[in-house]
Chain A
Amino acid sequence: MSTPIVPNFDDEAGSGRKLAIICSKGNLDMAYPGLILANAALGEGVETHLFFTFWGFDMIAKKRMNDLKFSPTGNTAMHMPVGDIRVPQALAPMPGMQAVATKMLKKQIADLGVPEVPDFLDQIVGAGGHLWGCRMSADMNKFTEADLRDDVEGIISASDFIELTDGAQLLFI
């Protein structure tokens, strides 16, 4: 009798794989790639760290995290839902366009069952993810830990980050 076919979930050894994702963008669309990948990595048992820097700081700042926006300005890849036409760049900066584009994007994301950024980060932390803030971004914004989500583990410097991610795969978004 041969051994039964059973999935290998790689439990022993724990491959020791580590992933660090640098989230440097504050526009709503670019908040998601890091979150989706972090969530996927955590669901595969990979130790995952998210490091928020520059505009990405908005994703973890209490005053800003519920209010991320999206604009088609400079984004030539935004297409209208009808007819696959690109949004003309000349229209993109017009008053109201940012609000419309943000609303559209939020709806498309919600229709897929993907949560808003703060809830998504709740899920990531629940799954064991680690959140870190960038020292320099904090100084630039004059923010302290009190201004950030409570589950951010600390505001760390670039060299702290390099130490923390020894042996990790790095992803810059």
Chain B
Amino acid sequence: MPVTTIAGREVHVDAEGFLTDPSEWDHDLAAELAAAIGIELTPEHWKVLEFLRKDFATQGETATTRRVQTVGGFATKDQFALFPKKPAKKMAYIAGLPKPRGCV
């Protein structure tokens, strides 16, 4: 399992770069992860990230775009506006969670 250094600290990642240990994440790291992929976090972004973390804790897997919409209450259009082009993957990455596995 590769280890990489982000913002001066070491985190475990998979081959693609997604964090493998959700407990290594915190708010400061999130800002760094976002910066690494060209996103500046606003309060709107944070609402989504917090939903993802909370949902992961109860469900054991990362919410898909649909779940973020129906359970989280964030319209698909807004998800694409906040995390352009590949919202599901980007938000999972910044939240320190694995890529969502579901199809919808």
User: Which A positions have Cβ atoms within 8 angstroms of B?
Assistant: 1, 4-11, 14, 36, 39-40, 43-45, 112-115, 120, 123, 126-128
Contact = CB atoms under 8 A, between A and B. Distances in A.
A5 B102 contact: no
Contact of B38 (A11, A112, A128): A11
A126 B38 CA distance: 23
A43 B88 contact: yes
A120 B65 CA distance: 12
User: For the complex, would chain A's binding face be called helix, strand, loop or mixed by DSSP majority?
Assistant: loop
Contacts of A5: 2, 4, 13, 15-17
B17 A115 contact: no
Chain B interface: which size bin? 20 to 34
B104 A6 contact: no
A128 B104 contact: no
Nearest to B71: A113
Given A7-B93, A9-B89, A14-B85, A113 B76 contact: no
B85 A9 contact: yes
Contacts of B33: 6
Given A9-B90, A10-B85, A126-B75, 16 more contacts: A4-B17, A5-B2, A5-B15, A7-B93, A8-B17, A9-B37, A9-B89, A10-B86, A11-B37, A11-B85, A14-B85, A40-B103, A43-B65, A45-B84, A112-B102, A113-B102
Interface in B1-38: 2, 4-6, 13, 15-18, 33, 36-38
17 contacts: A8-B17, A9-B37, A9-B85, A11-B84, A11-B85, A36-B103, A39-B104, A40-B103, A44-B86, A45-B85, A45-B86, A112-B102, A123-B76, A123-B104, A126-B75, A127-B76, A128-B80
Contacts of A7: 16-18, 37, 89, 93
A53 to B, nearest CB: 24
B89 A36 contact: no
Contacts of B85: 9-11, 14, 44-45
Contacts of A40: 103
A14 B88 CA distance: 17
Query: Shortest 6 CB-CB distances between A and B: which pairs?
Result: A45-B85, A126-B76, A7-B17, A5-B4, A126-B77, A4-B4
